[in-house]
Structure 1
């Protein structure tokens, strides 16, 4: 009877604990990262009674955690990549909305400005049309400034995101290291403790990307996407944000371990942090640079055309816009005191990409700061022989560079935030051609004058009166100089202007050219200005300003769509990885309900065994009392 009681008690206790495991599974149905547990039974060693061994009941040998390392590793890899792509998608779509929406983009005020110039060319003397040009120009530069400010805010949000993420990474890494220490060799580790560690590792890799590697003894080491150790055994490294050596307002990420701090390459991190840094490098910075290139190109191109006209005061036009200039920053670790002064040299060669300039002790070397690719650079940096790189000219204005001193050239970054309107008086708009031409009334030939074109507005004799006089039908003089051979349809150039003559002038025919004068209703220069948005000034004379505007909007939109597609595809992979993990580790209520009924019946049966043993024992006692 004692054996019967012991056997029933072992079964009762075993099934009670198994029921506790089932209830624990059900209770953690919605617990993130929980792995279901299963009770493992084993028969107790039997007792030899001479005729053989008689069983001693049942015992619990293990509460097994249902987990698969390969499924977990696949899910971790997917988690880091998904967080990176989702971060890229969210921020890229914000930029896409900024550039593509009519209320916030550059296209609407850009068209409004050039439409106002076109209207002015139809009524060059109209005060209302002149005021409209200034109003539309002001709206355009304001929109440039506003977009640049919004891009700066997004850049600031990247800084904030890095700071916040670094704090979370350090917290998670520290807790994982502590759990590694508690788990030790893993022989008696709680399944719930292991689940907690796996969940923290998943969150950490969601921020940094990377891998988790289990070492002998059950501890797990965690590495970033670039292979940097975040957790090794019970020791955790720390991430910190540090100022960019060229642009202190920007933050970078550095790793602190064993008392040393190493700034991480932007490609050494994945996850959310990697997404933030990749967005800044591949989407935000190019958008800032291209917007600045468009602003700088508009200012340079329009100013050049405006200086070739004459305003209503009879003066040659000045700058219409305040033209932005390239920026250059020295590395915080430079030991020399050189100061480089950049300026725009060739608009057609200007591509807006940042350039790293390094002094190697004798020469200047230019490279792409992101890829390290060499960039052609000429000159020595003196005023007589300036450095020339990507359409920018640089002069060593003061100081002396030391070996390995470095400078970051930003040809167009921030230019959209500094472009301004240079005039406020509508009468200062140079809508008229400064030189007018007319045929002498006594002319007898059929010679006809075409439009006067200004070839050099800086020519000191541009406004000096000139006379083209024909000796005969084939020869002419200019201000008495010559004779020159005449060919119908040819351009005659003199004193910074050019005019086309056609027809057959007769001997003695004269054509007079002179300054247009004040209060003119001439619209010659306004017509030229209204078409400058289609002038092929960029990319070596192959791209118009309108094309650059469309290209910027398309590029940002394409980046946003690509990020969306990649994030959606990765979400599918993430769902598959999660499903594979849940198939092994997830709690299935139907299965748990079946186990619950089975164990309940077994528990009741074990209780009946004890009840039977008790009845038999009471019967024995009753028999022995008589």
Structure 2
């Protein structure tokens, strides 16, 4: 009996000692990050012995996986909101507003119309033109600086992720070595360390886990790619830019570069890395492209209208803004040595969408132009088909423009291929005209005299007219056939329109030497040059078409027989502001293309509306991210509380266990002392 009592007491002391050790371990690690509470349980007593104790971690894998998911989502929006809020505040700051600079520039253009011969008024226009460029450059620099910060953080986070991936793989190997052995329960620290590494990795990128053999954990990206596989193999993150080295793209490389890198669908990534990439793609890229697009649209529209006027020196207007030409980025997979440059085709700035482009050399002297979205993916139409234009390359010049590709949507681009070293078939290039132009716009001139406020033509009613008709001021559409030395001349000299007959009304056009056959002008009196061409008489005085003549005019009212009207060069017309009116009207013209699909007028915005839309889009995206971030923060806190309630150390509970196990230990020790006393008594009786 005493021997059985001794065995029972000894077994109780051992069991309670293990329970006290487990409780003490829990209490000691209450502040240890990643520690999972442990519990020791014993089987029912058999043959006077407490069964072997088993110590295990109190872990609910579902709660753990949910916590990792919510941690990734929270980290994603925390990172996104942190970065986006900074840009949102900078763009919404009134001192940074591009609209202020646009309004100031056009206000001075309007002021110059009041004094078209004033050099001071013209100087203010040039000063504000430079201020507008500087303001655009400041805003673009904000975006460029943020892109640099994003790239730096991506490098840091990818290094952290790679270290964690490698650590998880190494811990898997250690766990596999003790799994199923008597050392497993003593190796709970390895499991805790691995789970914490997975939790830390989930802050950087969203992960999913699967149980492998021998206690290992296989880790995958939320998008499905493997990070940590069985037998210690693992993938590492890398960030490279192809074709643009400054635009980093996330890849996975098998350790040691033993496999082709796998592209990752960044739109599905979470965590801090996903937040950074989403911030770049959803805010920085569109902001940079839209700033460049607005600058190019304004510069091209202003230049083209200035060309149609006459400057203060009496010459045809030239460029006010210098539109940049950029080099396309060649993809690393290209097999040829070809190169492409890109710019806005003159007069086509309003056809340029706020996107980048992939240009593919698809055949001999043929290219395909694909607009791409903010993530570099080709844009598709409502049917899911890629939007692209197949265009011809001029074999003599290497040019791709509307001159050799009429009636095609070239998205406002003019491409130039190096014909001495053509690309190979299927070689591809990335054109980033908008983003590069946003920081490279310049003034083409600093001379106030170069602003062409006057119209190169002027019209007049003959002083002897007896009818009620008058001639309009005329509009200029093309000056390619005009000359400006020694003084501005019309392509056909001065023209005189004369009413030559009544019933029906008939007119003639004369350049002083030749006279057209009589022709009728319809009741609208609009576009007389065009009506002369339609009547087949324009070629009586010129070899040019109505479009090539480059100007037209209207007759308003009722002329009398013999009334005449004159159109001539506007020599010495320095107080004329008619072309300046058209320059000022650019502010309210829809010159900024909204969408890639469709090039109609209803697909365009004014400069101010386009900028307002940009600032609004940044604000909306940021506010949505803040709202979503608050929701996922609440979810993460709930998941954390649930996980901690299951796996965290509760000091009150452990203190109660400590007291209970201490009392149980003391009671077992007392039984042991009693058993020893009984045993000693029996021994004494036997003597």
Pairing of 1:469-548 with structure 2 (within 5 A): 469-471=498-500, 474-479=505-510, 481-482=515-516, 483-486=518-521, 487=523, 489-493=525-529, 495-518=549-572, 520-537=574-591, 538=593, 539-542=599-602, 543-546=604-607, 547-548=609-610
**Cα distance between partner residues in 1 of 2:122 and 2:369:** 45
**Cα distance between partner residues in 1 of 2:262 and 2:628:** 25
After superposition, the C-alpha distances for 1:485-543 in whole angstroms (9 at most, x for unaligned) are 45465343485333333233334444444343447222212221112122223343221
| Segment drifting more, 105-114 vs 233-242 | 233-242
SS in 2 for 1:38: strand
Q: Which residue of 2 aligns with 1:153?
A: 145
Q: Which residue of 2 aligns with 1:265?
A: 263
Alpha carbons of structure 1 residues 168 and 413: separation in structure 2 relative to 1, 3 Å:
same
CA RMSD of aligned residues (A): 3.1
Alpha carbons of structure 1 residues 29 and 87: separation in structure 2 relative to 1, 3 Å:
same
Pairing of 1:581-620 with structure 2 (within 5 A): 581-613=643-675
Equivalent in 112, 122, 132 of residue 120 of structure 1: 112
After superposition, the C-alpha distances for 1:441-479 in whole angstroms (9 at most, x for unaligned) are 444333334333212233324384443444467444433
After superposition, the C-alpha distances for 1:130-156 in whole angstroms (9 at most, x for unaligned) are 222122111110112222222222222
Alpha carbons of structure 1 residues 287 and 394: separation in structure 2 relative to 1, 3 Å:
same
Equivalent in 193, 196, 212 of residue 196 of structure 1: 193
Q: Which residue of 1 aligns with 2:641?
A: 579
Q: Which residue of 1 aligns with 2:377?
A: 370
**Cα distance between partner residues in 2 of 1:95 and 1:45:** 71
**TM-score, normalization by structure 2:** 0.81
Q: Which residue of 2 aligns with 1:412?
A: 434
SS in 1 for 2:31: coil
Alpha carbons of structure 1 residues 266 and 618: separation in structure 2 relative to 1, 3 Å:
closer
- Aligned residue pairs total 616
After superposition, the C-alpha distances for 1:348-387 in whole angstroms (9 at most, x for unaligned) are 4422323323345666445545158533323332247847
SS in 1 for 2:466: coil
Higher strand share: 1
SS in 1 for 2:317: coil
Q: Which runs of 5+ in 2 are unaligned?
A: 381-385, 483-488, 530-545, 594-598
After superposition, the C-alpha distances for 1:50-95 in whole angstroms (9 at most, x for unaligned) are xxxxx34x46602221001122122223333333333333333333
Would the aligned equivalents of 1:470 and 1:476 in 2 still touch at CA under 8 Å? yes
User: How far did residue 115 of structure 1 move?
Assistant: 2.0
1:337 aligned to 2:337? Answer: yes
Q: Which runs of 5+ in 1 are unaligned?
A: 47-54
1:394 aligned to 2:415? Answer: yes
Would the aligned equivalents of 2:340 and 2:416 in 1 still touch at CA under 8 Å? yes
User: How far did residue 424 of structure 1 move?
Assistant: 1.1
Alpha carbons of structure 1 residues 371 and 206: separation in structure 2 relative to 1, 3 Å:
farther
Would the aligned equivalents of 2:72 and 2:270 in 1 still touch at CA under 8 Å? yes
| Segment drifting more, 390-399 vs 364-373 | 364-373
**Cα distance between partner residues in 2 of 1:447 and 1:347:** 38
Would the aligned equivalents of 2:494 and 2:567 in 1 still touch at CA under 8 Å? yes
| Segment drifting more, 453-462 vs 291-300 | 453-462
1:462 aligned to 2:487? Answer: no
**TM-score, normalization by structure 1:** 0.88
Pairing of 1:222-301 with structure 2 (within 5 A): 222-239=219-236, 241=238, 243-257=240-254, 259=256, 260-267=258-265, 269-301=269-301
**Cα distance between partner residues in 2 of 1:154 and 1:412:** 17
| Segment drifting more, 92-101 vs 488-497 | 488-497
SS in 2 for 1:418: coil
Alpha carbons of structure 1 residues 365 and 300: separation in structure 2 relative to 1, 3 Å:
closer
Alpha carbons of structure 1 residues 195 and 109: separation in structure 2 relative to 1, 3 Å:
same
| Segment drifting more, 374-383 vs 204-213 | 374-383
